[in-house]
Chain A
Amino acid sequence: MAEQVTMNQDGTAAVESDGVRRRDFINIAAVSFAGVGGASVLIPLITQMAPSKDVLAQASTEVDVSAVQPGQAIKTVWRKQPMFIRNLTPEEISAADKVDVASLRDPQSLADRTLPGKTNWLVTLGVCTHLGCVPLGAAAGEVKGEFGGYFCPCHGSHYDTAARIRKGPAPKNLEVPEYEFLSDTVIKIG
């Protein structure tokens, strides 16, 4: 770095090194410092909109399913979202197993979507994967759609007995949350 000291007309000294002046460096450093500082202020302004601690605290819920007979389903709430817990009949299980998994939009078998030894318990979010409506078919007397599972009235998505998307605009099967059986009759979701 060849530094060259020259005298300006007003008698002050200007230091030049390869065309980059001391003042350019100060400018860039000052603006960068202000820029990084300004950008970091955005972090609290943006993340304040993410779920707050009390919303996150409702992360898990326990459900007693002893009263749910085969062929019945119940609706419950997890993280402010509806949950469907369905006790499948043997006919519904065989209907789900008959389907060629490779032919599905979101290929999953019933075994992939249930816990081992508990394939009759189908636990899913009651939230259509299209735009978030609650599908019909859990309560008695509701329309179950062309495939005997769930039917979303908003935009016409049909789900089968394993709650897999079969027809309509929804891209995915109804989501299976993380859950476990605490006993034979109590499920802990989340």
Chain B
Amino acid sequence: MSFSWAKHYEPKSDLTKWLDERLPLPRLVYGAIGGGYPVPRNLNYFWNFGVLAGIALVIQIVTGIIMAMHYAPNALVAFDSTEHIMRDVNWGWMLRYAHANGASFFFIVVYIHIFRGLYFSSYKAPREMIWLLGLVIFLLMMATAFMGYVLPWGQMSFWGAKVITGLFGAIPLVGEPIQTWLLGGFAPDNAALNRFFSLHYLLPFVIAGVVILHIWALHIPGSSNPTGVEVKSESDTVPFHPYYTAKDGFGLGVFLILFCSVLFFAPNALGHPDNYIPANPLSTPAHIVPEWYFWPFYAILRAFTFDFFIVPAKLLGVLAMFASILLLFFLPWLDRSPVRSGNYRPLFRTFFIILVLDVLLLGYLGGAPAEEPYVMLSQLASAYYFAHFLIILPIISKIEKPKPLPFSITEAVLGKDSSGSVGGPALQPAE
């Protein structure tokens, strides 16, 4: 694990020496996120988002555990207990707004983290496992966010639960029994609310576990970098602490300013007013959409309005929506270009920008009503999404002529003149 020049943990006091011989936990932390983890010296601010996602998870777990002390998962009182948190519990309004907007910010940083990985091809060998584990985290996040949104038991909660569990009803033959089994009834009710609460409490800790695997897998090849050229010598790296703890600290400050701006000045901007109406099984809200972070996938789901051969439109939409994420699991083997960084791949870079715009368009369309021209645009944008990964990417990796790569990270940073310093003295942390 890690590079030969990685510094080793040296316990200084008698207490830390005693601990190191019995449970070397400080040694593990030092090697994972301390001075013992050498990191490429040229990381840009896009490399902040992994740490930011980790902090967003901590915010969610802390605010969530506190709210569970005041919330009652029962269909009769769930809505009232949510309002009790908002109106009566000391600082309850802030904790709930932090939790609700924290979910949005978690998705924002994770989406940027994913697109960082797409642009700099962080999924390529030898980092496939990091990418795959990241997708598992993403799927767990989506399940957790969906179940969390059901808990306030407002109109959007109820109808979201109904529509999303209805997705399973599209599966031939076993679909409806599965849906009834998931809900514990024929429609969302107390049984569904209780199990969603139980799982919503559990899954964040499963996410934390997979995050540990994600970081473990990262530390075997080490972090990627904006050139995509692998670390060759000690001069290519700096220790994680203090260099990147400082850089991540700055990024965290910016993140918290943005988070607090929304939390204190526009706490409901990202939510739906309809969720402040108690759940009513007899009345569907006029415009039913999921939370914004599901909109691109919701647009793909709704794009299928026609049957294809014997497959009904409903099943097609569900399959396409799941396929749009499952497809990403195959990405390391779809993009065969040996060059990692999009900075050196002019054709790839163009199509990457189109993909980003396409996903943003899908996001807009997923939040729009189910009528023309949105339906037709969803169909085109969905088709392009799949074409990017299945057709365009494999072709680009064959026909593209990449720009010349720098010899090393050091050369990319300091220019050719300094390439003699490769293997020279390492940078030392400022004292």
Which positions in A face B, CB cutoff 8 Å?
49-52, 55, 75, 77, 79-82, 105, 126, 129-136, 152-156, 168-171
Contact = CB atoms under 8 A, between A and B. Distances in A.
A48 to B, nearest CB: 9
A169 B317 contact: yes
Main secondary structure of the interface of A (DSSP, over half): loop
Contacts of A79: 185-187
A132 to B, nearest CB: 4
A50 B282 contact: no
A129 B179 CA distance: 13
Contacts of A133: 159, 162-163, 284, 288
Contacts of A135: 284
Contacts of A50: 180-181, 184
Contacts of A156: 305, 370-371, 375
Q: How big is the B interface, by class?
A: 35 or more
Interface in B161-188: 162-163, 165-167, 169, 180-182, 184-187
23 contacts: A49-B181, A50-B181, A51-B184, A55-B184, A55-B185, A55-B189, A75-B282, A77-B281, A80-B189, A126-B282, A129-B314, A131-B167, A132-B162, A132-B187, A133-B162, A134-B284, A136-B284, A153-B288, A154-B284, A154-B370, A156-B375, A169-B304, A170-B314
Contacts of B257: none
Contact of B313 (A136, A152, A153, A169): A169
A19 B182 CA distance: 49
B283 interface: yes
Nearest to A59: B186
Contacts of A129: 314
In the A-B complex, the 7 residue pairs with the smallest Cβ-Cβ separation, listed nearest first, are A131-B166, A171-B312, A132-B166, A156-B370, A134-B284, A133-B284, A79-B186
Contacts of B195: 49
B403 interface: no
Given A130-B166, A169-B302, 15 more contacts: A50-B184, A51-B184, A79-B186, A80-B187, A131-B314, A133-B163, A133-B288, A152-B284, A153-B288, A154-B284, A155-B302, A156-B305, A169-B305, A171-B312, A171-B313
Contacts of A170: 314
A175 B166 CA distance: 15
B398 interface: no
Point out which of A134, A136, A155, A168 has the most chain B C-beta atoms below 10 A from its C-beta: A155
Contacts of B162: 131-133
B407 to A, nearest CB: 55
B286 A132 contact: no
